[in-house]
Amino acid sequence: MELRGPRVLLRPARPEDAPDLFPFACDPQISHYMYWNTHGSIEETYAYLENLAAKEAMFVIEVEGKAAGVTGMQIDWENRLGETETWIGQPYWGSGINAEAKVVLFDFAFGPPGLKRIQSLTHIDNSRSQRALEKLGFKREGLLRRYRWIGGEPWDVYMYSLLPEEWMSSRPPIYYP
Ligand SMILES: CC(C)(COP(=O)(O)OP(=O)(O)OC[C@H]1O[C@@H](n2cnc3c(N)ncnc32)[C@H](O)[C@@H]1OP(=O)(O)O)[C@@H](O)C(=O)NCCC(=O)NCCS
pLDDT in tens, 75-124: 999 999 999 999 999 999 999 999 999 999 999 999 999 999 999 999 99
Q: Which CATH class is domain 3-170?
A: alpha beta
* pLDDT surpassing 80 at residue 176: no
pLDDT in tens, 135-166: 999 999 999 999 998 878 899 999 999 999 99
Domain boundaries, the chain: 3-170
Among 123, 128, 158, residue to substitute to test ligand 1 (most atoms within 8 Å of Cβ): 128
Q: Is the CB–ligand 1 distance for residue 31 below 6 Å?
A: no
Q: What is the pLDDT of residue 174?
A: 83
Q: What is the pLDDT of residue 177?
A: 53
Q: Which atom of ligand 1 is nearest to the CA of 31?
A: 42
Strands, sheet with 58-63, edge to edge from the N-terminal-most edge strand: 3-4, 8-11, 58-63, 66-76, 81-88, 117-123, 153-162, 139-150
Helix (H, G, I), strand (E, B) or coil at 45: helix
Q: What is the pLDDT of residue 150?
A: 83
Q: Is the CB–ligand 1 distance for residue 131 below 6 Å?
A: yes
Global pTM value: 0.96
User: Cα of 135 to ligand 1 centre, how many Å?
Assistant: 10
CA–CA gap between residue 61 and residue 7 (Å, rounded): 10
Q: Is the CB–ligand 1 distance for residue 126 below 6 Å?
A: yes
Q: Is the CB–ligand 1 distance for residue 88 below 6 Å?
A: yes
* pLDDT surpassing 80 at residue 175: no
The string of DSSP codes covering 11-28 is E---GGGHHHHHHHHT-H
